[in-house]
Structure 1
Amino acid sequence: MIVESNKEDGCSLYQLWRNDHDPYSYALIEHWESQEHLTAHGKTPHWIHFNDIVNGYLKSNYDEHHYEEIPR
């Protein structure tokens, strides 16, 4: 998932992080050049497959947050 996502057009960062204090808690950090690129990502076979598998393990809904980059 991570390798394939990082190959996608418009993806400048795609990383999975595990919480140091809770080995069952993860954060998926990603940066897309545009909303259109993110939308296209959500239609890829690797995202659909990953999402289907992960949803089977979740104990609660995941939190999704969107941020806007602050230029330097």
Structure 2
Amino acid sequence: MATTRRDFLKFSTGTAVLAALVPASSTLLSFTQKTKKMSTNSLNVVAIAETSADKAEELKSVCLGLIEPTRKEKGCISYDLYQDTTNPGKFTFIENWQSKEHLDVHLKSPHLVAAGAAFGKIVTKEMVVMMLNKLT
């Protein structure tokens, strides 16, 4: 499911889901919770947020602010952030949730709602959003 920047603002209130494809040229800024087991029944979400070079640090700060509180949420298996190595204004989240219900709770969390409002003022390109089921 792809979405527009406007739809991303809906995401911040929990009515859409954030995801996207990870660029091959990304640098990992990640942590995976090894105490939680991944399964093929889990829900994978991937998302790209992009801004201009002059706002890259601002967007990076907002993205990094989501990491710690999200990783503490019930049902979060992993929540990783990548920065593109050729475009420093492009950031990609890769998320893994135990269920759609856990993701739905996350989408309504105060930290994500606040980030969604900030993203709306920072991102310069449409957000690409997908939910993925693991096949292999």
Q: TM (normalized to structure 2)?
A: 0.50
**Match of 1:9?**
74
Tell me whether 52-61 or 41-50 shows the greater mean CA deviation: 52-61
**Match of 1:20?**
85
**Match of 2:129?**
64
AA matched with 1:26: F
How many percent identity over aligned positions? 27
AA matched with 2:81: L
Two-structure CA RMSD over aligned residues (Å): 1.0
CA distance in 2 between partners of 1:18 and 1:47 (Å): 19
CA distance in 1 between partners of 2:81 and 2:117 (Å): 17
Give the CA deviation at 1:5: 0.2
Once the two structures are superposed, residues 10-29 of structure 1 have per-residue CA deviations (whole angstroms, 9 ceiling, x without a partner) of 00001111001100111011
CA distance in 1 between partners of 2:98 and 2:109 (Å): 17
AA matched with 2:74: D
Give the CA deviation at 1:70: 2.9
Report how many residues are paired: 71
- Structure 2: give runs of 5+ residues left out of the alignment: 1-65
**Match of 1:39?**
104
Question: Which structure's residues are more often strand, by fraction?
Answer: 2
Higher relative contact order (CA 8 A, sep 6+): 2
Divergent runs of 4+, >2 A: none
Once the two structures are superposed, residues 21-41 of structure 1 have per-residue CA deviations (whole angstroms, 9 ceiling, x without a partner) of 100111011101111111110
